[in-house]
Structures are given as C-alpha cells and as structure tokens.
C-alpha cells in the first residue's frame, strides 16, 4: 500500500426542510468528510467518504467529536501500520479494525475512504466491487414529524408529485395513529407506506402497536430500544405487519442474533452504522440466506455517501425501496453531482470508486474546520 494522508473536514449543509424524528430535529446536515489522499498508478488519487455521526449523540453513542478523536488518535495511525506491512491492504485493514472494540461509525468512515481511493486507483466502480447488478435503484422518501397533519399531507403530496412511490413516516407516541390514518385517507390504501419510531416505544406499548395492523403498512421500523431484541421478537410474533430493525443491527453478529430470535422480518442496512460497506454486504448476504428482505438506509447523506449507498443498494436482496432520495429532497446545493429521480428510482454512478464527483469549491464553502492526519 502506498503512503497516504487523511484530511478530516467538518462541514454543514442547510437542509431544504427541517427533519424531525422521535429523537430530535435537524435543520442542517452536519457532516465529517474524509479525503484519503495517495498516489495512484497514474498520479494523485483522492478517496472520499462521509461519517454518519451527528454533532450530538442523538442516534448513536458516537458523535462528530468522538469520531474525530478516534480517527486521529487510533484508527488512522493503525491504518498506517497496516499499510506499512506486506499483503493486500483492505482485508488487513478490516481485520485490524475488527480488533478495536466499538466505534462502527468511525471505522465505516475510514474504511470507506480507503476503499474509494483503492477503487479509483484501480479504475473499478464500487458497485462492481460489491457485486451490485442493478442500474436503477428503487427508492422511497422518509418524511419527518410535522407541526400539523395538514403540513404532513402537503409534504407527502409534494413527494408523490415528485415521483416517490414509497413513503416512510416518522412516528412517536402521540404522533402515530392520526398521521398514518390521515395519509391513508388522503392517498389511498395502495400507497406503499411504512413507519419508523426510532426506538420511541416500550414493551407496554405492544397492544397499541398491534392496532397499526389495520393500516396495511409495508413494515414497522425499530419501535423499541436498540438493545431490546426480545421486545421486537414479541411484537413480531403477534403482528402480521413485518417488523424491521435499524438501530439494533450494528454488526454481523447482532444481525445473526436478531434473525435467530425472530426479532426482525426485514433489515434496514445502514453502512455507516455497521462499520462499513464490507460488513453491510455480509449482513445483506446473511439476510438473503434467511429470506429476510433488506433496504439500504440513509442518514441524510451528502452526495458522497449517497453515491456509495446506491452502489450497495444494487445487491440482489435489497428488494425493498431504499431511504436514498434525490438530492433535491435534502439540499439546494450539494457537494457532488445531483442525483435525480427517474421512475421512482435513482441511477448509481458508473465512474471508478463511488463515482461521486466531488466539487472541491463547494466543499470549501461548507467547511468550518479541518485536520490532516
């Protein structure tokens, strides 16, 4: 492996609409971007990745400051040691990362930047490397908690006009039955509709959640706390509507446990949360072997992460539409090329690596701090 350096940038992009879930609201996408700079066979190469961490520990225990420290103090020096030894770099980096406990978001960001750099140097698209075979990825839209039912219906109506065919509503106690009923009444029973509670319910809410059966939902995502697989198993046993895990799936082992316990009928695979694209692919393969359908989740990524997610979502067991919407659903101005909806699908880029064309001027404009390590 050639010598490399990694530049970390803290950046913020205004969202076109605030995004509120049971865990809080965001008006800007705060992101840690990684640029992995090295020499390729034909000159300098940059691999790009973004970290799924937020500024605060809202969804995950890791947040931007802890990820930055982990990368600077532990993971980048470790990658440098791996690079100095003989043998193929990426598999040995994966083994070294697996030896460090926890920190999946930091690991995912580092591995993704290295992967993008290696593939750009080799001229290979990430989708080819991962085994993706689709040139159109069916996608949906995730709709935050609104101030009123009228606002929600306006938003959903606008997204349907934009061409989305699958809608996910964020729910929480007090914002669940009414919004779901209103969307069903306004847009019909045929609209593929699912809900995501981001862990907001408790086992005592199971009787209430069973009443969601009447809405004919595609799935109910992560109703209970991430570590409560048994509560999900209890709900899944009594509900015909599929139960889908998101935050509970942090590794291949947790996916295997959830499947063995029958705690999940579907999996939302977020590469950022499981430690990277290679582990995401392993979870996809495990789920496929057990007949568990998957979709590729999202963290309001910039084009950098969106391009990578589209490459992953081309794998065959991503049979549910992904949380990967068009650029215009998130940002007026992104830091890469825009991704546009075509027949409710996005088209994965075909260039080497992630295929994201990073606009350096746009990145400069949104950067507030940087560190090279």
Note the residues at the interface with Mg ion (CB under 5 A): 196, 221, 246
Distance CA 118, CA 218 (A): 38
Residue from 241, 325, 336, 354 binding ligand SMG (CB under 6 A): 325
Backbone angles phi, psi at 304, to 5 degrees: -65, -50
Distance CA 178, CA 93 (A): 48
Residue 43: Cβ within 10 Å count: 7
Q: Of the ranges 8-16, 156-164, 277-285, 298-306, which one interacts with ligand SMG (CB under 6 A)? A: 298-306
Residue 196: Cβ within 10 Å count: 25
Give me the least distance between CB of 25 and ligand SMG, in Å please.
10
Distance CA 342, CA 321 (A): 14
Q: Would you say 298 or 314 has its CB closer to ligand SMG?
A: 298
Residues whose CB falls within 8 Å of the CB of residue 108, separated by 6 or more in sequence, listed in order: 49, 51, 52, 271, 272, 273, 274, 275, 276, 277
By the rule CB under 6 A, 304 interacts with ligand SMG: no
Give me the least distance between CB of 84 and Mg ion, in Å please.
39
By the rule CB under 6 A, 298 interacts with ligand SMG: yes
Contact 246, 270 (CB under 8 A): yes
By the rule CB under 6 A, 299 interacts with ligand SMG: yes
By the rule CB under 6 A, 248 interacts with ligand SMG: no
Residue from 116, 118, 176, 323 binding ligand SMG (CB under 6 A): 323
Residue 14: Cβ within 10 Å count: 12
Residue from 246, 271, 283, 292 binding ligand SMG (CB under 6 A): 246
* Radius of gyration of the CA atoms of the chain, in A: 20
Distance CA 232, CA 217 (A): 16
With residue 286 as reference, give the H or E element that holds it.
helix 277-289
Tokens of 325: 């919407």
Distance CA 278, CA 281 (A): 5
Give me the least distance between CB of 23 and ligand SMG, in Å please.
8
Q: Catalytic residue at 29? A: no
Give me the least distance between CB of 327 and ligand SMG, in Å please.
11
Q: Would you say 32 or 79 has its CB closer to ligand SMG?
A: 32
By the rule CB under 6 A, 50 interacts with ligand SMG: no
Tokens of 365: 């404009």
By the rule CB under 6 A, 279 interacts with ligand SMG: no
By the rule CB under 6 A, 300 interacts with ligand SMG: yes
Distance of CA 296 to the CA centre of its chain: 6
State the burial class of residue 51 (Cβ atoms within 10 Å of its Cβ: 0-12, 13-18, 19+).
buried
By the rule CB under 6 A, 297 interacts with ligand SMG: yes
Q: Would you say 46 or 309 has its CB closer to ligand SMG?
A: 309
Give me the least distance between CB of 18 and ligand SMG, in Å please.
11
Tell which positions 118-177 bind ligand SMG, by CB under 6 A: 142
Residue from 50, 118, 176, 196 binding ligand SMG (CB under 6 A): 196
By the rule CB under 6 A, 198 interacts with ligand SMG: yes
22 touches which of ligand SMG, Mg ion, none (CB within 5 to 8 A by kind)?
A: none
Give me the least distance between CB of 93 and Mg ion, in Å please.
28
Residues that are catalytic:
170, 270
């Amino acid at each position: 492996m050639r010598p490399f350096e990694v530049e970390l940038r803290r950046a913020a992009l205004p969202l076109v609409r605030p995004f509120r879930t049971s865990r809080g609201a965001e008006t800007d996408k705060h992101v840690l971007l990684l640029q992995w700079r090295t020499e390729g066979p034909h000159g300098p190469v940059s691999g790009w990745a973004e970290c799924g961490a937020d500024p605060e520990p809202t969804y995950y225990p890791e947040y931007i400051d802890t990820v930055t420290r982990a990368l600077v103090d532990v993971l980048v020096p470790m990658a440098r040691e791996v690079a100095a030894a003989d043998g193929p770099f990426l598999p040995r980096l994966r083994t070294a990362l697996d030896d460090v406990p926890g920190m999946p978001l930091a690991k995912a960001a580092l591995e993704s930047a290295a992967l993008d750099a290696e593939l750009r140097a080799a001229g290979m698209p990430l989708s080819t490397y991962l085994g993706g075979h689709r040139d159109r990825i069916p996608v949906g839209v995730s709709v935050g908690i609104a101030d009123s039912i009228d606002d929600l219906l306006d938003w959903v109506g606008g997204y349907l006009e934009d061409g989305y065919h699958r809608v996910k509503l964020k729910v929480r106690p007090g914002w669940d039955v009414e919004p779901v009923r209103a969307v069903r009444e306004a847009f019909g029973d045929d609209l593929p509709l699912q809900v995501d509670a981001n862990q907001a319910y408790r086992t005592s809410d199971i009787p209430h959640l069973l009443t969601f059966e009447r809405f004919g939902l595609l799935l109910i995502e992560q109703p209970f706390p991430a570590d409560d697989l048994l509560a999900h198993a209890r709900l899944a046993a009594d509900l015909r509507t599929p139960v889908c895990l998101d935050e509970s799936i942090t590794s291949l082992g947790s996916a295997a446990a959830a499947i063995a316990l029958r705690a999940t009928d579907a999996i939302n695979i977020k590469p950022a949360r499981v430690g990277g694209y290679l582990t995401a692919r392993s979870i996809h393969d495990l789920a496929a072997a057990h007949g568990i359908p998957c979709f590729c989740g999202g963290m309001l990524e910039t084009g950098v992460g969106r391009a990578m997610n589209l490459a992953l979502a081309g794998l065959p067991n991503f049979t549910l539409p992904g949380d990967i919407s068009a650029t215009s659903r998130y940002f007026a101005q992104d830091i890469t090329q825009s991704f546009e909806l075509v027949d409710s699908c996005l088209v994965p880029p075909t260039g080497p690596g992630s295929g994201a064309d990073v606009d350096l001027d746009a990145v400069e404009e949104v950067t507030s701090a940087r560190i090279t390590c």
